[in-house]
Structure 1
């Protein structure tokens, strides 16, 4: 998920605790190293029964620290202090019930527990445990307390088949989500801030990806869109405490990136419009990032039409699809905020002018006008840029950056409007 510009040169401490999900830690370390990060590892005693410290040392190119190293006489500074000061970010993956309990109670029993108490950097905690343990009232109390700490980015376990053969909540979130949370932490770190739950109690409705309109049994109309921008906005909002409904067409992003979201897959513009109609009344923020097909066939054939008759039959029945953004803004409720998107070509001034016309005509509070004719950004790329247009002739230049960084900038502006 992450490209080399996101984490390159960053100092990350990966902490592994005693959950069966510890077997995924070497993969996480390898991915961070490939992304250009400098990685050190610390492992609890129980986790050494599940994953080898040697494998973590080999993959990280650094010593993997254990409890027995904490008071080694070779240290010129207490090890937990040295590691806490070295790390720009700490990732605890997996976080066991035991390590969670130690952290919430302020216990410094063990190397990792001491590091977490001494750290002033952001901490990503990805919980993983048996379903019954996760649902235990004491564990829930500890987890809910951790969620109130600005320093900590909490990643709740997902549902799935667990190592104990039980199906339920307790599975560690996938590594793409952990990496995205880490990248997000560094986006805020660049501004000397923590990523916090500043969007808590706000419900987002986000559309993403293309819609597809059938022409006959073999042919279809669509617009170019991977859906990545909308999906990343959704995940960024969730990291910041929002509840997110994502209505998406056939996106071409990793399915793991949809984890944790309330997803509603659709295919046609009519299906997308109907689902958005259902969800809009409960949303405070609506982000229309989908690339809705501009045209549809009123009555597509259930058979494949021969090439000789195809053009005539298509043009006879072709019509414009409904403007979903305009339809929704007409139903805007009090205090709802609408963010629209416009993919444009041309000079900066041309893009701003066309974007502002669309913002006004569609009734959006904000509109992101982004160029699609510039190398290395836009469709199918990890990067984007553009102009955020708003009330009182507001024009904010969102310079070339990762789509995740752009997502957080857009959320900042939405929060400011709220």
Structure 2
């Protein structure tokens, strides 16, 4: 069972951490919580103990000899991932300089697992030179990872940066750290990803499209970002939040996606085509909405550019190109044919006729194949987990 230790600092954003604790517990993760003295002014240990199904610890527990071993040692050795949210300016300064004057900071020094920091503070506080210096200094230790802060309306009514990352972002990063154990094996790599379903319009309101929501592409972008990559996401219409830190290019049609992918292709080290690109488009486009009586009884179609094949022809030796093949029935045979014909380094063949898999689902499954003949089956899992498994597979490409 995965073990996540969450340290809560003294800030109004502490209430958001309840959602993180509750969601992790429901996923079967074992969660334990440390509250600083200031955190107890905003939220009670009883609340966190109830949500986590474990005792919630405070400095009062730290200074009492009621545990068999020192509590900070026990908790530090126990955790697979350590999260500090909200991270206050005070706690950040202690981390940057190695101070250990409470249970939270002592446990940090007694731990060896990855630590995820989710800062939250007033904009002026966050932008102080000393705070920014401490923020940069703490990442000299590769154990530290960050999520946020974002920008928006703060509790002080200020609009600006310093807002703690949303619970969904924190949970996604925790899941990534549990998989990678903190490794950033894509650091220095530039990853280019396509996502979403392109639309080919007959008139301003009617189009040929597909059910893709772009969730797989978003998961790929999230996983790459968490593994240290610089990520560019070229996306048709999608359904989901784009992670902070991902460069985005919005498109609609296959031609627009082709143009955007070609513009960014030469600078990318790894290219993943997860978009569901239309194969055909209406041969004629009406600039004004066609009345129902004017709709053609048969539709003349034209083929759209084959983006993956074009990129395969342009690929340089240092680049890796990965495709997706959404299939029904036999998924391996057509995927292998696509892999070879389009000069891909690897392909993910995923069934779209399986329950809770493929388009619009939160989960997916696939068979990964590469040009060297490897085949790895990914059983049903979350799309974020599948993204990480795909990156693990790609890292082993020759």
Q: TM-score, normalised by structure 2?
A: 0.91
Counterpart of 1:97 in structure 2 is: 89
The 3 A distance-change label for structure 1 pair 63 and 387 is closer
The correspondence for 2:16, drawn from 10, 24, 33, is 24
- Describe how 1:7-406 pairs up with structure 2 within 5 A: 9-188=1-180, 194-253=181-240, 255=241, 257-307=242-292, 309-312=294-297, 315-316=299-300, 318-347=301-330, 351-406=331-386
Distance 1:113 1:133 in 2: 21
Displacement of 1:106 in angstroms is: 2.2
Contact 2:117–2:145 (8 Å) recurs in 1:
yes
Shifted more, 357-366 versus 203-212: the winner is 357-366
Question: Alpha-carbon deviations, 1:304-327, whole Å to 9, x = none?
Answer: 435555243x523x2111111122
Between the aligned partners of 1:299 and 1:227, the Cα distance in structure 2 is 27
Q: Contact (CA 8 Å) 2:2, 2:80: kept in 1 or not?
A: yes
C-alpha distance in 2, partners of 1:281/1:13?
42
Aligned twin of 2:395: 415
In the alignment, the residues of structure 2 paired with residue 65 and residue 228 of structure 1 have an alpha-carbon distance, to the nearest angstrom, of 37
Deviation at 1:96, TM superposition (A): 1.7
| Structure 2 alignment gaps of length 5 or more | none
Query: 1:109 Cα shift?
Result: 1.0
The offset of 1:355, in angstroms, is 1.1
What is the number of equivalent residue pairs in this alignment?
398
Encode CA deviations 1:174-231: one digit per residue, 9 max, x unaligned: 211111111122224xxxxx22221111111111110112123432211221211111
Judging changes above 3 Å, is the alpha-carbon distance between structure 1 residues 196 and 136 closer, same or farther for their aligned structure 2 residues?
A: farther
Tell me how far apart the structure 2 counterparts of residues 338 and 163 of structure 1 sit (CA, whole Å).
Answer: 45
Cα drift, residue 330 of structure 1? 3.0
Structure 1 unmatched ranges of 5 or more: 1-8, 189-193
CA distance in 2, matches of 1:248, 1:276: 10
1:370 deviation in Å? 1.5
Closer/same/farther in 2, CA of residues 333 and 129 from structure 1, 3 Å limit? farther
Deviations 1:3-30 (A, max 9, x none): xxxxxx5332221112332231222222
Residue 137 of structure 1: how far off its partner (Å): 4.1
RMSD: 2.3
Q: Tell me how far apart the structure 2 counterparts of residues 167 and 102 of structure 1 sit (CA, whole Å).
A: 27
The alpha-carbon deviation at position 415 of structure 1 amounts to: 3.0
